Amino acid sequence: MPSQEYLDKMQLRQNFRNLWHTDLMSTIQQDPPYCCLAFWCGPCVSYMLRKRALYNDMSRYTCCAGYMPCSGRCGERKCPEFCLCTEVFLCFGNSVASTRFLLQDEFNIQTTKCDNCIIGFMFCLQQIACIFSIVAMIVGSDEIQEASQLLNCLADMVYCTVCACMQTQHKIEMDKRDGKFGPQPMAVPPVQHMSRLDQAIPPSAGYPPAAYGQPYPPPQGYPPSAYPPSQYPPTGYPAPGYPPSGYSR
Burial environment of residue 109 by CB neighbours within 10 A (0 to 12, 13 to 18, 19 or more): buried
Residue 145 resides in a domain:
yes
Q: How many CB atoms lie within 10 A of CB 79?
A: 13
pTM of the model: 0.66
Range(s) of the domain holding residue 118: 4-178
Structural domain includes residue 185: no
Number of domains in the chain: 1
Q: Is 116 inside a domain boundary?
A: yes
Angstrom CA distances, 48 to 43, 172, 222, 248, stand at 9, 13, 65, 89
pLDDT tens column, 98-121: 999 899 988 999 888 888 899 889
In-domain check, residue 146: yes
Assess if residue 240 is contained within a domain. Answer: no
Q: 160-211, pLDDT tens digit by residue? A: 999 999 999 999 999 999 888 765 543 433 433 333 334 443 443 344 444 4
87 within domain boundaries: yes
